A = this chain, B = another copy of it.
Amino acid sequence: MNSADNAADIPAASSGAETTDERFERGLALLRTLGGQERPAVLDSLADIAPDLGHMTVAFGYGDVMSRPGLSLRQREIATVAALAALGNAAPQLRFHIDGALNVGVSAAEVVEILIHTAVYAGFPAALNGIGAAREVFEKRPDAAATPVDSEPLPGDRYERGLAKLAEVDGHAGDQVVASMQDIAPDLARYIVEFAFGDIYSRPALDLKCREIASVAMCTALGTAAPQLRVHIHGLLNVGGSREEVIEVITQMAGYAGFPAALNGITAAREVFEERGAGQ
């Protein structure tokens, strides 16, 4: 599922006590892989007034965080694209990471699918503006140009299909969310089943583990969805993710949405891990 190993020639992040030069060099190597350029644009674009920020972006953002083991670079870019699209306020970075995702093994069809997935967590404007960013990137890349992604209609009833998918992701917790709204907003519960799980999660273009990596990334980055973050930490664990992978996705968000977002995400993870006990 995540067999892509694009980080082959990037040294692993060590745990502290290394020099800033080593961190910078490791970040630079990763950025070259991601951006496809010998000299990352972020360094040049900051050289005039904030060269230190450029250096930190490389040494911390890429040398420390994005170089960590525990997730493939492909998975990390799925998380980043989802989070930046959901935040909706960082168009240049979203374009960079859509391009980066394509460079580390995410297909154009998968990029589109991640952006469609953001509609569930951040609304249609986020998804639509994300597609706009993707179009700008795709137009510059002949390899991504010819990608009209139009699925076949999904088989069966939307509600039944959504209910099965919801059970796959959330186990009994999904039923409870739906049941808990019958008294007050039954149609919103129905839309979660029909639209979020029947229409979106059921689409074959992105596997469930990638979807849940994206969901955890978005709920962490937005910072406004604590109950849903807990549900989808469970979800990621339910569809084959490990606790380490959960922590990696959340930690990565420190770079894209700030430390408070990551810290509050860790609080949610701790609660979920305690609920699940020693097992998985």
Q: Does the CB pair B153–A90 fall under 8 Å?
A: no
Q: Does the CB pair A257–B147 fall under 8 Å?
A: no
Q: In A80-109, which residues have CB < 8 Å from any B CB?
A: 84, 86-90, 92-93, 108
Q: Does A278 contact B (CB under 8 A)?
A: no
Segment with Cβ contacts to B, from A2-10, A28-36, A71-79, A194-202: A194-202
The docked-state distance in angstroms from the alpha carbon of A125 to that of B61 is 11
Q: Does the CB pair B195–A225 fall under 8 Å?
A: no
Q: How many of chain A's residues have a CB under 8 angstroms from any CB in B? A: 103
Q: State how many copies of this chain the complex holds.
A: 3
- For A89, the chain B residues whose CB sits under 8 A away are 87-89, 125-126, 129
Q: Does A115 contact B (CB under 8 A)?
A: yes
Q: Write 25 A-B pairs (CB below 8 A) sorted by A numbering.
A: A16-B159, A47-B148, A48-B135, A50-B134, A52-B150, A53-B128, A56-B119, A60-B195, A61-B124, A90-B129, A92-B132, A93-B124, A93-B128, A120-B259, A121-B260, A123-B253, A123-B257, A126-B258, A183-B270, A188-B247, A188-B254, A222-B258, A223-B224, A225-B258, A227-B263
Given contact pairs A49-B112, A86-B258, A124-B256, a sample of 18 additional A-B residue pairs in the complex whose CB atoms are under 8 Å apart: A15-B187, A48-B135, A50-B112, A50-B115, A52-B151, A56-B199, A84-B125, A90-B125, A92-B128, A121-B258, A123-B261, A124-B255, A181-B266, A185-B250, A223-B225, A225-B260, A227-B263, A227-B264
